[in-house]
A and B are shown apart, each in its own frame.
Chain A
Amino acid sequence: MKKSFSFPIIFMIVITAFFTFILAFLNYSTADKIALNQEIDLSRKILYIFDILPESDNPKEIVAVFQDRIESTPYGDHEIFIYKDEAGEIQGYAVPVNGPGLWGSVEGYIGISSDYSTVLGLDFISHSETPGLGGRISEDDYKGQFRGLDLSDVVDDNYIIYRPAPGGNVDAIAGATLTSKSVSKLINEDLGHFFREGGNR
């Protein structure tokens, strides 16, 4: 083939336009689905935190319960989710907890009862810890421990203390000391902040 100047340029433009068009179309056609996935994921986690996750894993049911019981208000850059029972009484708050983990930032929510005395539950929205080690913070064995923790006689923002330290209330993950420490640190900091902002403590 003779080397021409303009042909390669035109060729490249045409082929780029072609593939861009395909990708744009795919992106457009799946955007709703992806947004819905993220919404369901968040709803499921918030409901898990308040321990009112429906038994069935049907997305529609999850979203229905979420819309029925949960309200949100802005809180800094994030949102606080408020859980109300059937009578409209506030049962608890899901407070965003964010901070650096070992490898990347960890984002999650911790549920606090309406009188600020008990932890209702904990879940993580995103993290990038090592699967099987630090990644186990998102497994039930770890986050299940937080359900029902008593916060009434906590001093100096030390809400989460790992056993066997004095006053310890949860177990860290063996082999993932740094991730465990980061998680307790970010929870303690953000909870302390929330309680001071809330002003009821």
Chain B
Amino acid sequence: MDNPKKIFKMGLWEDNPVLVQIIGICSALAVTNLMMNSLIMGIGLIFVTGLSSFTVSSIRTFTPKHIRMMVQVLIIAAYVIIVDIFLKAYMPEMSKALGPYVGLIITNCIIMGRAEAYAQQNPPIPSFLDGVASGMGYTLVLLLIAFFRELFGFGTVFGIKVLGDWWTPWTIMIMPPAAFFLLAVAIWVSKTIQDKEKDEKKGQVVNS
């Protein structure tokens, strides 16, 4: 069993789904114009990835290998519908704001990716943690992008006015192109740092 620390380190940084694996970016581009939307979307995804990985893993020994994909999709769909129903019943405003994106969590490659790459070979508890870690990695990147988009686009953070009236909102930040630019910058920066980290590690090995 992998230790939780390593799982989280992989999900949040070294193997971050958005920055390194470049998956799940469709929704990362779509819901990042407001931080609140990103946060709720991220929580929804953490919930779905964690629990679906857990479920896939707990029935992995009974699941016939050639129909495992069907089973995974079924499990993921069930959890996504649960999130959708929950938002509609208890957070109607948020449900409206996220609109079709909640239903689209199901097509988010991260969930199926984790189910296929990790949960299929590992016991339930580490799988659950792995799902949560990947979901959190996704959420943090979304929040980072949303922070800049909301700040420059509206002058607010989580709906609270930060920049005064002198600030002219950059309309492009609210539009989809801004998400492309910011995501690219985020990948660029993280890639640079990660390469440096790797070089340092190599250096250490040689020195010792």
Main secondary structure of the interface of A (DSSP, over half): helix
Tell me the chain B residues, 69-107 only, with Cβ under 8 Å from chain A: 70-71, 74-75, 78, 81-82, 85-86, 88-90, 92, 96-97, 99
Tell me the chain B residues, 36-88 only, with Cβ under 8 Å from chain A: 37, 59, 62-67, 70-71, 74-75, 78, 81-82, 85-86, 88
Q: Is A130 in the interface zone, CB < 8 Å from B?
A: yes
Q: What residue in chain A is nearest B61 (Cβ atoms)?
A: A1
A27 to B84, CA, bound (A): 10
Cβ-defined contact, A15 with B71, below 8 A: yes
Q: What residue in chain A is nearest B78 (Cβ atoms)?
A: A19
Cβ-defined contact, A130 with B62, below 8 A: no
Cβ-defined contact, B154 with A34, below 8 A: no
Q: What residue in chain A is nearest B176 (Cβ atoms)?
A: A130
CB distance from A39 to the nearest CB of B (A): 11
Contacts of A23 in B (CB 8 A): 78, 81-82, 85
Q: What residue in chain A is nearest B156 (Cβ atoms)?
A: A132
Q: Is B21 in the interface zone, CB < 8 Å from A?
A: no
CB distance from A106 to the nearest CB of B (A): 14
Instruction: Say yes or no: A12-B89 contact (C-beta < 8 A), given A131-B97, A133-B171.
Output: no
Q: Which of A3-11, A74-82, A110-118, A140-148 contacts B (4 or more CB under 8 A)?
A: A3-11
Main secondary structure of the interface of B (DSSP, over half): helix
Q: Which 3 A-B pairs have the closest CB atoms?
A: A30-B89, A19-B78, A132-B174
Give the B-binding residues of A (Cβ under 8 A): 1, 3-4, 7-8, 11-12, 15-16, 19, 22-23, 26-27, 30, 33-34, 37-38, 41, 126, 128, 130-133, 175
Give the A-binding residues of B (Cβ under 8 A): 33-34, 37, 59, 62-67, 70-71, 74-75, 78, 81-82, 85-86, 88-90, 92, 96-97, 99, 153-154, 171, 174-175
Sample 28 A-B pairs with CB under 8 A, ordered by A number: A1-B64, A1-B65, A3-B64, A3-B66, A7-B64, A8-B66, A8-B67, A11-B71, A12-B70, A15-B59, A15-B71, A15-B75, A19-B75, A23-B78, A23-B81, A23-B82, A23-B85, A26-B82, A30-B89, A34-B92, A37-B88, A37-B89, A128-B99, A131-B33, A131-B97, A132-B33, A132-B154, A133-B175
Given A11-B64, A33-B89, A41-B92, 13 other A-B residues pairs in contact with their CB atoms under 8 A: A7-B64, A8-B67, A11-B71, A12-B67, A15-B71, A15-B75, A34-B88, A37-B92, A38-B92, A126-B96, A130-B175, A133-B171, A133-B175
